[in-house]
A and B are shown apart, each in its own frame.
Chain A
Amino acid sequence: MKKILIIEDEKVLSEMYKFKFAKEGYEVLSAMDVEGGLALAKSEKPDLIILDILLPKENGITLLEKRKDIEEISNIPVIVLSNFDDNLTKTKAFSLGAKDYLIKSNFDPQEILNKINTYLND
């Protein structure tokens, strides 16, 4: 069973994605912030990370930066899923190795799931 880590502070959304992804047969882990997310990523070694950008304390970009320096998790693919639609951030995220940058409101959970499936099966 493949593991997906969702780092999302908005509980309504993280529950929604968790429900959808779990229904599809993924093991879904969730964290509320960068610190918790990194800890979970290190301990659980998920197959994919779904990352929000606007998070309490530190933002998603910081996680991407830290991830690069932690060898054990540096290869885990990351899909950014955020409503923060800023070109600079988007570019930065791609340069730090994000696979995709999706705007939450523009996709149904099913569409996101389709993308996850694609990435995980590649």
Chain B
Amino acid sequence: MTLAQIFPLVSGIFVFLLGLLVIGKNYKSKSNIYFGLFCLGTTFWLIGTYMMFGAKTDAQAIFWDRIIYIGGILNPIFIYHFGLYFLELKQNKWILRIGYSLAAFFLIFLWTDYFASGLYKYSWGVHTRAGILHHFFLVYFIAFMMMFFFDVIKELRKTTGIKKFQIKYIFYALLSMMIIGGPAFLPAYGIDIYPFSYLSGAIFACIVAYAITRYRLMDIRIVIRSLIVYLLVIITFEIFLLGSSFVLDNFFRYKTDATFFAINSSYLILVLLLFTPVKDFFTRLVNKYIFKSLYSSQQAIEKMSKESTSIIDLNKLLHLIVNTLKDYMGLSRMGILLFDKETRNYSYKVGKVVGFNIDNGISLVRNNYLIEKLIETKKPVILQELEAQLKNSNTYNRETIADIKKLIVHVKRIEASLCLPLIANNKLIGVIVLGEKNSNEAYTKQDLELLEIISSQAAVSIENAKLHKEVEDFSKNLQKKVHEQTTDIREKNEELKRLLDARSEFLSIASHQLRTPLAAIRGYTSMLKQGDYGDFNNDARTSIEYIYDSSVRMIELVNNLLNVNRLEKGTINLNVKDVSVNQIIEECIEDAEYSAKNKGILVKYVNSKNKLPLIKGDYEKIKNSIGNIINNAVLYTVKGKVEIRASVDNESIKVEVKDTGIGIEKEDIDKIFKSFSRGKGGAELYTQGTGLGLYIAKSFIEMHGGKISVYSEGKDKGSVFTIELPLKSTIENNIISQ
């Protein structure tokens, strides 16, 4: 076997398989069918060439040359027809009918001497002599090929994107075939030219294979991979066969048919045995070096859907998506940008990137044109297609071109080859950014299908993970906030406690220190008043009275402050003895009588029919409380009387103090028992009040297990204060241990 034979044979097998696969891939596609038929025609030509070189007799040579012509006759009409479908052109039935009629005509007359007769013998081999019809055949051949090229060139200008590349490579493949294969007809006219034409088959096959892998021509990448694998397997065994037959020929000289048959048979067994391991070996090799990015998309999708459902951690999920896609598609760079909710301004933060230099722009994606485009179209943006569109810029208006250019700038800035929108709930939640493939190949239709499936799946998973993260962050945040607030409150509380302690300390010291000079003032003025130091004139006596009253009031104020302080600190104790409430009332009336008389108010005590029993209690505190109520009644009554009633039933002693005074407005009733709180009218009538008396009275009575309440019909309607003290004391429980 010579080199001139190997080329046509290998290319012939390849082209034949290519044709079968193209048809097999999609037998419903007309362009696939006609491309397949063209491949079949080409196979006739290439296999014919292989056989012709090996022809032993002239008759054999003529036969195989005619076989070659089958391809020559069929190809122009098939390729023309293919072109019409592939370029999606309007078909002229008459041209096609004429074409097929001519092809049929030539096929019939091919076998006559009108087409070819006899042989020209050249140094490299033989070729049939052109008959009369051969001239017409050439016209037909050139005409249909020209029509095809005319269509291709015309469409090449119009088309954009990936299709343009496909057309371009079809054009290159056939042009090279014509240029190299064209001179093959010359030897038919006695012109001695070496038939390089058989190379054209191989070149055609290579270009088409390249277009298929790089530009998704015919969408048979996976098939092509298998084809290449099988081709490599065949070549390997072929070389082995050639090598072994060379060795046998030259060293052993076994020329008998029997030995040849034996060798061939054993070789066949060897091939059968070694086929699978050799095939696997080439599959691995091809996957590694030629089809690095050709993956099993099913596998990728399965992996993603299986693993992504079990991952709820956002970072882990992003890691999975990025790594899966990067590995399966053999990408140089891969990243996911996520819509940044915190800034709200459509900014995107890097979720996870591999291979990108973060400083180079991928971290800077804002609400730019690219994002707008992705939101608008919800379709991937592919740099390659954009660039192809730009190359064909004459078919677009200026605005569209500007848009494309802008988009290209944006895509390039983030070093992307493909930007895939992540859509969840019809909203763009992020972008998957892909760099170019390690193999430098274009993204295929299959890639895009895979990416779209994975991206929609990823979007849902990411959205879930984000929600989960948000909830988690929220609860963490909440916890942190609660902790902060608690600490804050605790600190404030401690500060407040410290302040309160300081205040009570101050009050306690101040009060005790105030008492000594007050005792002196009160004591001496009382003695002056009582005439211990002799008589005074009326003015002096009045002044002395004033000083005395003032000192007493001041002492009461100090006592009140001390009591409030103790009440608030909880350090007040009851000094429990047998107490006569009746006596207390009488003493209190006595104390109040002086100022009542001055105001012209009658203080009347209506004693109970039943004698009031003694109760257990703190004499001073009960006196303080009852005295306070009676004093108030006198203080806040301008004219009229104060009536005090005491009664007893089975449970308690009830002391009622009724006056004809200023009364209490409804809104004040609730607050008059609170510390530092006074009724409105009270503050107007008697400015010196502190708002402590009733608070202390209430506290003291309650310490005895009693109740204090007030009733008033309103302003100027007088008031009734009622104190109830239980007969059976519950005091024991209230005493703070002494």
Contact = CB atoms under 8 A, between A and B. Distances in A.
Tell me if chain B binds chain A: yes
Interface of A: 10, 12-13, 16-17, 19-20, 23, 54, 83-85, 87-88, 90-91, 103-106, 108-110
B575 A105 contact: no
Chain B interface size, under 10 / 10 to 19 / 20 to 34 / 35 or more: 20 to 34
B573 interface: yes
Contact of A91 (B527, B559, B738): B738
Interface stretch (B91-99, B513-521, B642-650): B513-521
Given A105-B522, A105-B555, A109-B526, A88 B516 contact: no
Contact of A108 (B516, B518, B523, B738): B523
A85 B512 contact: yes
A105 B558 CA distance: 10
B735 to A, nearest CB: 10
12 contacts: A10-B520, A13-B523, A16-B520, A54-B512, A87-B571, A87-B575, A88-B738, A91-B575, A104-B519, A104-B523, A105-B555, A108-B522
The 9 A-B residue pairs whose C-beta atoms are closest, nearest first, are A108-B526, A83-B515, A104-B519, A105-B519, A105-B515, A87-B573, A91-B738, A105-B555, A105-B518
Contacts of B558: 105
Contacts of A110: 526-527, 530
Contacts of B559: 105-106
B220 interface: no
Given A87-B571, A90-B575, A20 B512 contact: no
A17 B523 CA distance: 8
Nearest to A12: B520
A13 B519 contact: yes
A43 to B, nearest CB: 28
Interface in B501-537: 512, 515-516, 518-520, 522-524, 526-527, 530, 532
A16 B572 CA distance: 31
Which label, helix, strand, loop or mixed, suits the secondary structure of the B interface? Answer: helix
Interface in B559-616: 559, 562, 571-573, 575
Contacts of B519: 13, 83, 104-105
A85 B523 CA distance: 18
Contacts, number: 63
A105 B516 CA distance: 7
A83 B523 CA distance: 13
Interface in B374-426: none
Contacts of B530: 108, 110
Contacts of A10: 516, 520
Given A13-B516, A87-B571, A19 B532 contact: yes
B516 A85 contact: no
Contacts of A104: 515-516, 519, 523
Given A19-B532, A23-B532, A106-B555, A13 B738 contact: no
A17 B575 CA distance: 27
Contacts of A17: 523
A109 B562 CA distance: 23
Interface string B298-329: 00000000000000000000000000000000
A15 to B, nearest CB: 9
Nearest to B563: A85
A87 B572 contact: yes
B608 to A, nearest CB: 28
A108 B527 CA distance: 8
A104 B558 CA distance: 13
Contacts of B518: 105
Contacts of A90: 575
A109 B523 contact: yes
B524 A16 contact: yes
A27 B131 CA distance: 173
A54 B520 CA distance: 16
Interface string B25-52: 0000000000000000000000000000
Given A12-B520, A83-B512, A87-B571, 5 more contacts: A16-B523, A20-B527, A103-B515, A105-B518, A109-B526
Contacts of A106: 555, 559
B526 to A, nearest CB: 4
A42 B464 CA distance: 94
Contacts of B524: 16
Contacts of B526: 108-110
Contact of B512 (A84, A87, A88, A91): A84
A117 B607 CA distance: 31
Contact of A20 (B515, B516, B532): B532
A25 to B, nearest CB: 14
A17 to B, nearest CB: 8
A113 to B, nearest CB: 10
A103 B518 CA distance: 11
Interface string B726-738: 0000000000001
A19 to B, nearest CB: 7
A10 B518 CA distance: 13
A84 B527 CA distance: 23
